[in-house]
Structure 1
């Protein structure tokens, strides 16, 4: 159960992290 949750959280974090990095990179470029 915990293992499944951690994998799900990691998947969500990786998706969010990618979007965050893109938005941050865009903001830094400006």
Structure 2
């Protein structure tokens, strides 16, 4: 259970980082 939850959290963090990078990139374009 713990490992599955940890993996899920890691996936969410990874997706969040990607989203933040995309948002920052769009802002940088402006």
When normalised by structure 2's length, the TM-score is 0.68
How many residues are matched?
Answer: 30
The runs of 4+ residues in structure 1 deviating greater than 4 Å are none
Gapped regions of structure 2 (runs ≥ 5): none
| TM-score normalised to structure 1 length | 0.68
RMSD: 1.0
- Structure 1: gaps of 5 or more residues: none
